[in-house]
């Protein structure tokens, strides 16, 4: 990982998603003195995934703080710091541990601007590795983005590639309101990309179209994007042209991009790892049915995890959606047309 | 080199003492295979191997105290340290991955107009075998209603199914409509007295080739009838070569293959060429290029029936010649009433580009050429 630290001064860096996060943190901490880091093991240890590696050495213990094992403390401190002029980036070590942090996130961070009629805002970022597929024990594979998305006042952002992780994290840090930045840990060390370390942020609140197509719209985010792209390839071999959209910002949803796509294709499949019922897919499906009703050639399909907790690692692959499941869902769309 | 570090044993324990190794250096282990027993402050814990592999190094001896996160075992292999304490991050074999993305939505690639109908209306249309693309929607936002579908079904039942035009018929519908919208057509009709063809000793005349020859002569005399006219930009291109489109009627519809450069080729050669084109049309093997680029067209409908016509000028051409069927008529000839074979002729021209005088002179040259007993090859 030290290679990345040396290279963070360089412009173009080949990085995996984890290294892209580290690059973005380095960049922003260097250019904005109000940015501070806090969390468990983020300082001396550099983070259990090495996401914050090198930051304490570079910026000192006053800006990179190792907290006690207390998530409520982490989010509470972040709220306090944020309202008083700092830009805290709090790390929750695994999304499974985020529940005690919800108190301050939902009751205060999400409401600060509303409560103070705009006098105070809460420019904090809560980062957490999220999602399953790494053979981990209980509490280490959560994807409860729907819980956070349902709460007004908080942005939820989920990158799916190193380049988007870099750009979106920078945007999240610079945003004046609370952002929960969920990093799909299954692809932390997935494929590498060349990142231009120029501090350029990507826009929040917009989807990204990864592939253009005319027959079906595939909507997904996070680690499932890789499976969705694989499914799109398989569908192309069968003569079906799939459009792939990376939602990226889960809340607020960029429905415009998704609706435009479904108007053109008439078919939609939403893919997410999180449990099926009451998931983000349900919200997207409801909005599509509402606004594209006249253009739909088949009901909106969802390919999701099951309504159970993530199973232990031998059964993980049953739980996680894969490209075959997605292709089967697309076939369903065509049968019902 | 893949390391396996002492995992979090839970319950706030930070270290453990090695009790007994169950594997040794060089062993091949399977995932989950029992590897080492360690003793914590509370109990003896059996630690399984997180992966399959070959043991390369053991980092502690029995009796040593190892802290959580310290390496226990090294496997042979080329993978980098994935740096995790909990879980197993797979390292992707993929290197540089292409990841082009568009912010927001892509340009629509679907050029068809979007059909708006609720799912129930679509289902109804399917049941009644009505094609939604044939219906004119009557709903406020341009949507097709149940009523529209039912009316269309009734019409299909009473009058027969409507079928979408395809292929040559579709092209003809579009081309004729386009021509009508642009061209200002004027037709001159006249008769060619061809009794000279049937004089004793005269070889049998190839009617089509006589027409081709006559058109050639007329184009030479009046080149303004063999031009390409652009009505939008108001330009006129005087063409040196005469490429004659010949209308051919088939079961599938109207084809117009092009006989190239009639000005420079012999009639025999042109007859061969025409036969080849007809053959290609009949066998459906004619390539589209053979039907493009005509500078003037001949419609010899007289082979079927008909006398005079106003055939349709196809832009960018400005002239089309229509030849009716040769028939015996009573005509005045040299002061007498006689029965002569007469070839009715129609010339339609686009009056945006051609004057009446030019057309009349063209027609007059055609008539003169056609009345000759025979012409050079």
Provide the 3-class DSSP secondary structure of residue A264: helix
**Is B118 close to A293, i.e. CB distance below 8 A?**
yes
What is the maximum span of chain B, computed from C-alpha positions, in angstroms?
A: 139
Question: What class does CATH assign to A2-196?
Answer: alpha beta
Q: What is the CATH number of domain A208-335?
A: 3.40.50.920
Instruction: Return the pLDDT at B84.
Output: 56
Range name among B81-90, B216-225, B248-257 with the lowest pLDDT average: B81-90
Using a CB-CB cut-off of 8 Å, the residues of chain B touching A213 are 109
Using a CB-CB cut-off of 8 Å, the residues of chain B touching A232 are none
pLDDT tens for the 337 residues of chain A, in order = 455 555 455 588 899 999 999 999 999 999 999 999 999 999 999 999 999 999 999 999 999 999 999 999 999 999 999 999 999 999 999 999 999 999 999 999 999 999 999 999 999 999 999 998 888 888 888 899 999 999 999 999 999 999 999 999 999 999 999 999 999 999 999 889 999 999 999 999 999 999 999 999 999 999 999 999 999 999 999 999 999 999 999 999 999 999 999 999 999 999 999 999 999 999 999 999 999 898 898 999 999 999 999 998 888 889 999 999 999 999 999 986 5
Tell me the per-residue pLDDT of B251-305, one tens digit each, with 9 for 90 and over: 888 889 999 999 999 999 999 999 999 999 888 888 888 889 999 999 999 989 9
- Which of A98, A157, A163 is CA-nearest to residue A125? A157
Residue B363 pLDDT exceeds 90: yes
The token pair that represents B204 in the structure block: 């049998």
Which percentage of chain B shows pLDDT scores above 70?
A: 91
Phi–psi pair at A106, nearest 5 degrees: -80, -40
Query: Is the fold of B119-159 the same as that of B168-371?
Result: no
What are the structural domain ranges in chain B? Answer: 2-75, 119-159, 168-371
Residue B338 pLDDT exceeds 80: yes
Residue B242 pLDDT exceeds 90: yes
Phi–psi pair at A45, nearest 5 degrees: -80, -20
Domain B2-75 has CATH 3.90.79.10: no
**Is A134 close to B84, i.e. CB distance below 8 A?**
yes
- What is d(CA A283, CA A298) in angstroms, rounded to the nearest whole number? 17
Is 0.80 topped by the overall pTM? Answer: no
Q: How far A96 CA lies from chain B's nearest CA (Å)?
A: 13
What are the structural domain ranges in chain A? Answer: 2-196, 208-335
Could you tell me if B119 lies within 8 Å of chain A, comparing CB atoms? Answer: yes
Neighbours of A209 (CB within 10 A): 24
Question: What class does CATH assign to B168-371?
Answer: alpha beta
Using a CB-CB cut-off of 8 Å, the residues of chain A touching B116 are 294-295
Q: What is the CATH number of domain B119-159?
A: 4.10.320.10
Option in B102, B117, B141 nearest A209 (CB): B102
Task: For residue B342, give Cα distances in angstroms to A100, A275, B205, B332.
Answer: 104, 87, 14, 12
Could you tell me if B90 lies within 8 Å of chain A, comparing CB atoms? Answer: yes
Neighbours of A136 (CB within 10 A): 23
Q: Average model confidence (pLDDT) for chain B? A: 87
Strands B296-299 and B65-67: unpaired
Half-sphere exposure of A235 (CA within 13 A, CB side): 32
């Amino acid at each position: 990982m030290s290679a990345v630290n040396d290279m963070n001064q360089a412009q173009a860096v080949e990085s995996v998603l984890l290294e892209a996060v580290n690059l973005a943190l380095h960049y922003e901490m260097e250019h904005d003195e109000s940015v501070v880091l806090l969390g468990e093991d983020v300082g001396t240890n550099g983070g259990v995934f090495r996401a914050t590696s090198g930051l304490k050495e570079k910026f000192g213990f006053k800006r990179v703080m190792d907290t006690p094992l207390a998530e409520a403390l982490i989010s509470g401190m972040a709220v306090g710091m944020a309202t008083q002029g700092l830009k805290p980036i709090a790390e929750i070590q695994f999304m499974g541990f985020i529940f005690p942090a919800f108190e301050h996130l939902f009751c205060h961070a999400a409401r600060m601007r509303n409560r103070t009629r705009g006098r105070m805002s809460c420019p904090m970022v809560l980062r957490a590795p999220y999602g399953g597929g790494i053979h981990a024990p209980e509490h280490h594979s959560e994807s409860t983005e729907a819980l956070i998305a349902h709460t007004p006042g908080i942005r939820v952002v989920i990158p799916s590639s190193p380049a988007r992780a870099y750009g979106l994290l920078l945007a999240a840090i610079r945003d004046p309101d609370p952002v929960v930045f969920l990093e799909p840990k299954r692809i932390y060390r997935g494929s590498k990309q060349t990142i231009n370390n120029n501090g350029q942020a990507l826009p929040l609140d917009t989807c990204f179209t990864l592939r253009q197509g005319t027959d079906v719209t595939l909507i997904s985010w996070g680690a499932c994007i890789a499976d969705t792209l694989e499914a799109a390839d398989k569908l192309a071999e069968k003569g079906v042209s799939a459009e792939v959209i990376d939602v990226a910002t889960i809340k607020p949803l960029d429905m415009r991009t998704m609706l435009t796509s479904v108007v053109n294709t008439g078919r939609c499949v939403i893919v997410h790892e999180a449990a099926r019922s009451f998931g983000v897919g349900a919200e997207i499906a409801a909005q599509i049915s509402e606004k594209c009703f006249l253009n739909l050639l088949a009901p909106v399909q969802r390919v999701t995890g099951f309504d159970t907790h993530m199973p232990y690692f031998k059964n993980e692959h049953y739980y996680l959606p894969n490209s075959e499941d997605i292709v089967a869902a697309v076939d369903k769309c065509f049968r019902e047309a | 080199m893949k390391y396996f570090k002492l995992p979090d044993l839970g319950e706030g324990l930070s270290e453990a003492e090695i009790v007994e190794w169950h594997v040794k250096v060089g062993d091949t282990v399977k995932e989950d295979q029992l590897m080492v027993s360690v003793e914590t402050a509370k109990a003896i814990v059996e630690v399984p191997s997180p992966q399959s592999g070959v043991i390369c190094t053991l980092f502690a001896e029995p009796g040593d105290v190892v802290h959580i996160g310290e390496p226990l075992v090294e496997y042979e292999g080329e993978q980098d340290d994935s740096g995790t304490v909990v879980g197993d991050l797979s390292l992707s074999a993929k290197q540089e991955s292409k990841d082009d993305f568009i912010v927001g939505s892509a340009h629509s690639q679907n050029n068809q107009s979007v059909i708006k109908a609720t799912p129930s209306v679509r289902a109804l249309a399917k049941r009644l075998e009505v094609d939604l693309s044939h219906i004119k929607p009557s709903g406020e936002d341009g949507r097709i209603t149940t009523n529209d579908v039912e009316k269309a079904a009734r019409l299909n039942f009473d009058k027969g199914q409507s079928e979408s035009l395809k292929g040559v018929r579709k092209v003809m519908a579009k081309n004729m409509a386009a021509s009508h919208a642009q061209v200002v057509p004027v037709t001159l009709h006249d008769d060619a007295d061809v009794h000279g063809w049937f004089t004793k000793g005269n070889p049998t005349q190839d009617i089509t080739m006589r027409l081709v020859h006559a058109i050639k002569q007329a184009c030479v005399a009046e080149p303004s009838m063999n031009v390409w006219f652009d009505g939008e930009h108001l330009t006129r291109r005087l063409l040196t070569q005469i490429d004659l489109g010949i209308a051919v009627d088939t079961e599938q519809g109207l084809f117009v293959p092009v006989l190239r450069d009639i000005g420079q080729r012999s009639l025999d050669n042109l007859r061969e060429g025409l036969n080849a084109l007809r053959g290609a049309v009949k066998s459906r093997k004619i390539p589209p290029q053979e039907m493009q680029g005509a500078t003037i067209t001949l419609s010899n409908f007289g082979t079927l029936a008909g006398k005079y016509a106003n055939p349709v000028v196809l832009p960018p051409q400005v002239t089309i010649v229509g030849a009716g069927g040769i028939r015996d008529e009573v005509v005045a000839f040299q002061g007498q009433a006689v029965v002569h074979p007469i070839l009715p002729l129609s010339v339609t021209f686009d009056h945006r580009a051609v004057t009446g005088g030019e057309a009349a002179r063209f027609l007059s040259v055609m008539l003169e050429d056609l009345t000759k007993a025979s012409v050079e090859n």
